[in-house]
Each structure stands twice: as structure tokens, then as C-alpha cells.
Structure 1
Amino acid sequence: MGVREQQREHNVARILAAAREQIAQVGGVGLSMRAVAREVGMVSSAVYRYFPTREALITALVLESYEALGAALTDVPAGEGAERWTALAHALRQWAVAHPHDFQLIYGTPVPGHAAPPETIPAAERVARPFLEAGAPGEIKGFDDPALLGQVGPLASAVGVDRSGSAAVLAELAQLVGLLSLELGGHLVGTADPADHLFAAAVDRQTRTLGLT
């Protein structure tokens, strides 16, 4: 890699780090290209050479967050059945608690004006894949509606799992994301906070629903 390419990578990393720090302080809605430029010591026009729009910068942050979460799930030790699903679910929670703003970038309220582009689909699939491989061993009763099977068919085929099983996994993964969103948002204070026991109970129920125990 030449000096120019190295400098570009260095600048991109600095811009992303500054943008991520700003989101941690003011949220995605408050992300300002001008403030990011000021933080890295650039003029605004220089930042736009790396990210032509604010939406492009947000997309880069989303992709980076997906990559980090995907790597965390990939690091989960091998296992089977309920053990594997449980390990993945708790790895998801550990990452979310350690990186709440990254989690919100992926799963929180969409930033106004930003629509997820097609390149985020493979990144999202990388996160879902280990759950699909662990939790969709076969047909799951109640998830066999033809319209639903048609919707999840391409994803199930890409991963090589049962269609109704993959639909059930997506539903259970959505519950995990919902629980984490409530926990990170402070909505379980006074009811089930800390959420360790509630989360563990939900995961245990999921292993039975998915036929992993």
C-alpha cells in the first residue's frame, strides 16, 4: 500500500472515530459534518472528499458497527443446540451493553434522512447467520404461513436452513433486540433491572420454542 492510500485510510479512521464520538454525545440526529471536521482538524470540504454526504458517513458507521458485532458473534465458541443459541444470545447482549451507541445505530430509531442502502444487507445477514445456523434445525409449528415462507425463502436458501425455522429465528432475534433496546433505554428500571434474569429467562424459553432442548 502506497503512502497516499495509507494516509487516506488514516484520515477515514479519524473521521469515523470523531463521528462515532459525536453520536455518543448527541445521537445520530445531531451528527454534524462541520463538527466532525473541526474535531479532526480539517475543513468541511476535506471531509466531504472522503464522505460526500452526511448519509454516506452514517452508512459507513452502520457498516462498521455491523462488522464489529459480526466479529463478536464469530468469536463465540463452537457448540450445538441450546448451548450454542444461549452463547450467541449472551454475546449479543454483552456487545450491546459495551457498545450501546453502535447498537442503536443498527437497531435504534432510523436517523431522519438516512435510508439503509443495499450494501447493509450482507452486513446484517452476517449478524443473523450464526443465529439461523444455530436455531433453525427444522420446521417450526406456527411459522408455516405460505406468504411468510416466501418472504424468508431467499435468506433461508442462502444460509441453508429450513424456511419456517428461519422465520422463527428472526422472530426470536427480534425479541432479543427488543429486550436490549428496552434495557439500554432504561425502560426496565423499577421492573427487571438489572436485566440479567429476564434476558436469561427469555433465552431459555427461546431454546424450547426453537426445539433446541
Structure 2
Amino acid sequence: MGVREENRERVEAAIRAAAREQIRTVGGGALSMRAIARDVGLVSSAIYRYFPTREALLTALIIESYGSLGDALETVRGEGADRWRDAAVALRGWATERPHEFQLIYGTPIPGYAAPPETIPLAGRVAEPFFAAAGIETADQPDAAGVLAALAELIGLLTLEFGGHFAGVTDPAELYAYAVERQAGELPRELSA
């Protein structure tokens, strides 16, 4: 890799880091290309050489976040209920370490932004260990909807937790663990043993 490419990668990484910090402090809807450029020491027009639009930067961040979550889930092994539990724990672990990335991919939609089709396989990668735990190879199998509904429940619990909706009501970790155990118990008997 030449000096020019290394410099471009360094600047793009700095832009993504500044954008993530901005999302952490003000949310994805308030993401400002001008503020990011200022944070990394670029004139405001220069940022567009790296990311031509705000949407392109958001897409890069989403792809990176899905990749990171997919990598965390890819380490899950085992079978049946144990694999389900381990995948759910890995999901929560990643989300609690990176709550703003979790919110970026699963939280409130960003006004005016629609994720492009290239994010779909990355989102599907998140479901793969849960499908595997349930003995499902493809999303078009009969029980796939049940797996997706259970995964949506886990994501919903994390979304409510990060939104502060359980404060003073219940321990979110205990509630999550309860849901995971219930789900693991609902796997087909031959898989949950």
C-alpha cells in the first residue's frame, strides 16, 4: 500500500471515529459533516472527498458496526440451547460495550436515511448463530420466523434498556437472562438437550 492510500485510510478512520463520537454525544439524526470535518482538522468541503454524502458516511458506520457485531457472534460455538444462550450473551456483551453502535443499527431511524441493500447480508449475519442454534440453515425454512421473532425480542429488550425504560423497575440483565432462558427452553427438544 502506498503513502497516498495509507493517508486516505488514516483520514477515513479519523472521520469515522469523529462521527461515532458525534453520534454518541448528539445522536445519529444530528450528525454534521461540517462538525466532523472541523474535529479532524479538515475544511468542511474536504470531507466530501472521503465520504461524498452524509448518507455514505452513515452507511460506512453501519457496515462497520454490523461487521463488528457479526465478528463477536461468529465466535459462538456449541449446539442447541447452549449455542442460543452463548449467542444471546455475545449479543448483549457487544451491545453494552458499544451502545451507540447498537443504537445506530437498531435504534430510532435517522430521518432522511434509508440503509442501502448492501447492509442486508450484514444484518443477516447477526441472525446466523441463532438460526444455527435452532437447527435452521436458511431464512426460508418454516421455523425461521420464530427465530427472527425471538431475536427481535432480544434486540427490543436491549433497546428498552439503553433507552432507560427499566430504570427503577427491574434489573435489565436479569430480565434479558430470563428471556434468553425462556427462548432456549422453547427450542425443539432434540436441539435444546
Structures share a fold, TM > 0.5? yes
Equivalent pairs, count: 190
Task: Tell me the distance in 2 between the aligned counterparts of 1:43 and 1:134.
Answer: 50
C-alpha displacement at 1:87, in angstroms?
A: 0.4
**1:96–1:103: 8 Å Cα contact kept in structure 2?**
yes
Structure 1: give runs of 5+ residues left out of the alignment. 139-158
Q: Which amino acid aligns with 2:42?
A: M
How far, CA to CA, are the matches of 1:23 and 1:176 in structure 2? 23
Q: Please tell me the root mean square deviation across aligned C-alpha atoms, in Å.
A: 1.3
Q: Which amino acid aligns with 1:202?
A: A
Query: Is contact 2:83–2:129 with CA below 8 Å preserved after alignment?
Result: no
Deviations 1:142-184 (A, max 9, x none): xxxxxxxxxxxxxxxxx44661221111000000000001111
Counterpart mapping for 1:124-143 below 5 A: 124-135=123-134, 137=135
Q: TM-score, normalised by structure 1?
A: 0.86
Aligned mates of 1:55, 1:100 — CA distance in 2: 21
State how far apart, in whole Å, the 1-side matches of 2:128 and 2:82 are.
16
1-side partners of 2:139 and 2:42: how far apart? 48
* Structure 1 residues 9-59: Cα deviation after superposition (integer angstroms, max 9, x where no partner): 111101000000011000001110000000000011110011111111111
Residue number among 161, 166, 176 corresponding to 1:199 in the alignment: 176
Match of 2:6 in 1: 6
Q: What corresponds to 2:167 in structure 1?
A: 189
- 1:70-125, Cα deviation, whole Å (9 max, x unpaired): 1111123x211110100000110011111110000000011001001011011111
Query: Is the contact between residue 79 and residue 132 of structure 2 (CA under 8 Å) also seen in structure 1?
Result: no
Is contact 2:138-2:144 (8 Å) kept? Answer: no
- Taking the aligned partners of 2:85 and 2:140, their CA distance within structure 1 comes to 20
Structure 2 gaps, min length 5? none
Map 1:9-158 → 2, pairs under 5 A: 9-76=9-76, 78-135=77-134, 137=135
Identify the structure with bigger relative contact order (alpha carbons < 8 Å, sequence gap 6+). Answer: 2
With structure 2 as the length reference, what TM-score do the two structures score?
0.94
Deviation at 1:63, TM superposition (A): 0.6
Identity across aligned pairs (percent)? 62
State how far apart, in whole Å, the 2-side matches of 1:160 and 1:54 are. Answer: 34
Cα shift at 1:131:
1.2
Amino acid at match of 2:164: G
